[in-house]
Amino acid sequence: MGLLFVATMILIAIFFVLNVALIAKGRSMRKRETELQRNGVTAYGSGLCHGMVIDRQDVNKVIPDSKKSQAWYARLV
């Protein structure tokens, strides 16, 4: 019974530490995101494969979409 209690406490402690780490990482990513946006770096891709869509009004134009690219998240980490 004592071993089960210790194992449960260890699992709860690990869960708590992981949640604190995730919260801290999220805060640092949000801080980095605002810093990049303040410097004019946008979250959109630059190629036709991702981040760009054809403009509905003028089909000869390509505009950035609203999705954040994988490269954007790589910059934040």
Q: Is the pLDDT of residue 10 over 90?
A: yes
H helices of 1-77, in order, are 2-38, 70-76
DSSP secondary structure code for residue 49 in this structure: T
Return all residues near 27 (Cβ < 8 A) that are at least 6 apart: none
Q: Is the pTM of this model over 0.85?
A: no
Q: What pLDDT score was predicted for residue 50?
A: 59
Q: What pLDDT score was predicted for residue 74?
A: 78
Q: What are the structure tokens assigned to 36, written together?
A: 């990049």
Q: Is the pLDDT of residue 6 over 80?
A: yes
34 in the same domain as 47: no
Decide: 73 and 32 in contact? Cβ < 8 Å.
no
Q: What pLDDT score was predicted for residue 40?
A: 79
Q: Which domain holds residue 73?
A: 43-77
3 in the same domain as 36: yes
34 in the same domain as 3: yes
Q: For residue 64, how many other CB atoms are within 10 A of its CB?
A: 14
